[in-house]
């Protein structure tokens, strides 16, 4: 079930009413209800893959119980590896089997060895990269004794399958999110209203911004050789806007929906489009994934300790794995590698942590220096993003060569003026909300009530009138 569909618009109010009216007095029944509606939400897409979520849940629940009573180090490590192998085994088979098979065959062909093997017609279960990482956080935290094992299978199942963030995050840590299923939840009107504002803004990002950008992005990237360098730059820019609106829009809807039910999810995007360097960008983009790799891979490898070669190795490993996490394509690996190189250069100069504070904090406008820094950073991110969007390495090379041609200085054949004006307004609202958890958290709250509600209704009207062609969320494919 997609957030941007009539199905979800019917589903959410029904679940909300039942949750707070029929099941509000019994925490266990509330959790059981969450499991039921979460499985319905996921099964709406394809019920067959519910078995993967169930197996992952059962395995990690049992491993957790065993870890809570086992003190032998070898046995504990064995139990942890059971969890990792099961979860990454599912992920590896469904997401990477054909990729490794193809590259295995190509590798042997260099030595004149011909291998006959057929690819499998595998459907990638949506959300598998997200819920496998979330449930692994539980067993890893138990292994390092950062968390106590739960004996409540229903609460644990609700933690794994919680429908707002099941298919595209944020990827929650067990030690932060699981305890919320054991605390009595009471309806908080102010939090619910703020959740609705965040949902509204998320829908605007997705439906008005991302889906309209997608129309032009798909056209330009599908016909690269037909367009001038200036038009390819427009495509590069619109894709950066599209993916931000699409993914941060999903996160806003997920976080806002969770708040309706009394849960607090972590912030997944902290206005990365206003970053002054690539280091700051990666601290603000897809925070739940980057912090997951930091906590469970980067730090165990030594993190920032040791000499510069060890630091560079760890950074490279994290970025390349991050690229590969996004998909079984060499373009994602190149994308991760390019970002690793750029980040490492900052780190070698001790400049990767220069921009830790909110840009132009307590100020209405950025300085000239801020504007130049943001522009430089976003040009770098947009350029590397070409590899994220193209279909192959050859396509990426063709696209880049097309940009750096004499036609770069010609007038673009594709220039959606109305959309660009809408994007500027969108960026402006995001700028004034950059010090908050989401753009509309405090935006307009000091206005008189009629004006404030007129603004909300205007967003609703824009969503209805200016909706682009309905698109699935980009990160569903990961």
Catalytic residue set: 326
Contact 430/244 with Cβ under 8 angstroms?
A: no
φ and ψ at residue 8, rounded to 5 degrees:
-70, -35
Contact 98/120 with Cβ under 8 angstroms?
A: yes
φ and ψ at residue 303, rounded to 5 degrees:
55, -130
The structure tokens listed for 284 are: 């603000």
For the chain, the first-to-last Cα distance in angstroms comes to: 16
């Amino acid at each position: 079930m997609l957030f941007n569909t009539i199905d979800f618009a019917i589903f959410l109010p029904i679940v909300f009413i039942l949750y707070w009216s029929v099941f509000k007095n019994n925490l266990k029944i509330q959790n059981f209800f969450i499991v039921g509606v979460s499985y319905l939400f996921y099964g709406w897409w394809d019920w067959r893959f519910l078995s993967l979520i169930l197996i992952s849940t059962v395995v990690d629940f049992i491993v957790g119980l065993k870890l809570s009573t086992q003190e032998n180090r070898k046995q504990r490590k064995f139990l942890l590896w059971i969890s990792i192998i099961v979860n990454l085994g599912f992920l590896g088979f469904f997401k990477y089997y054909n990729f490794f098979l193809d590259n295995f065959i190509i590798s042997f062909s260099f030595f004149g060895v011909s291998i006959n093997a057929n690819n499998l017609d595998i459907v990638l279960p949506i959300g598998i990269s997200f819920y496998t990482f979330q449930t692994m956080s539980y067993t890893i935290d138990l292994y390092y004794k950062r968390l106590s094992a739960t004996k409540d299978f229903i609460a644990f199942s609700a933690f794994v399958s919680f429908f707002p963030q099941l298919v595209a995050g944020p990827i929650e840590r067990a030690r932060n999110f699981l305890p919320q299923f054991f605390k009595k939840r009471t309806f908080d009107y102010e939090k619910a209203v703020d959740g609705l504002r965040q949902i509204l803004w998320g829908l605007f990002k997705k439906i008005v911004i991302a889906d309209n950008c997608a129309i032009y992005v798909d056209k330009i990237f599908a016909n690269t050789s037909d367009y001038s360098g200036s038009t390819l730059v427009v495509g590069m820019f619109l894709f950066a806007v599209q993916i931000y609106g699409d993914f941060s829009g999903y996160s806003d809807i997920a976080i806002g929906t969770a708040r309706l039910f009394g849960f607090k999810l972590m912030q997944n995007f902290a206005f990365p489009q206003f970053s002054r360097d690539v280091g700051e960008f990666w601290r603000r983009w897809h925070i739940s994934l980057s912090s997951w790799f930091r906590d469970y891979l980067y730090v165990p490898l030594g993190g920032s300790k040791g000499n510069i070669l060890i630091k560079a190795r760890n950074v490279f490993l994290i970025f390349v794995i991050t690229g590969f996490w996004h998909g079984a394509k060499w373009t994602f690996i190149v994308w991760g590698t390019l970002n690793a190189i750029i980040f490492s250069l900052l780190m070698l100069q001790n400049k990767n942590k220069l921009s830790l504070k909110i840009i132009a904090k307590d100020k209405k406008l950025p300085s000239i220096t801020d504007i130049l820094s943001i522009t430089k950073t976003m040009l770098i991110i947009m350029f590397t993003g070409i590899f994220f969007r193209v279909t192959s390495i050859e396509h990426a090379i063709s696209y880049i060569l097309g940009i750096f041609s004499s036609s770069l200085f010609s007038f673009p054949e594709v220039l959606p003026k109305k959309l660009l004006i809408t994007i500027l307004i969108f960026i402006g609202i995001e700028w004034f909300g950059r010090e908050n958890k989401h753009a509309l958290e405090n935006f307009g709250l000091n206005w008189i009530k009629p004006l404030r509600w007129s603004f909300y209704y205007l967003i609703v009207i824009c969503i209805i009138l200016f909706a682009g062609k309905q698109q699935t969320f980009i990160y569903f494919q990961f």
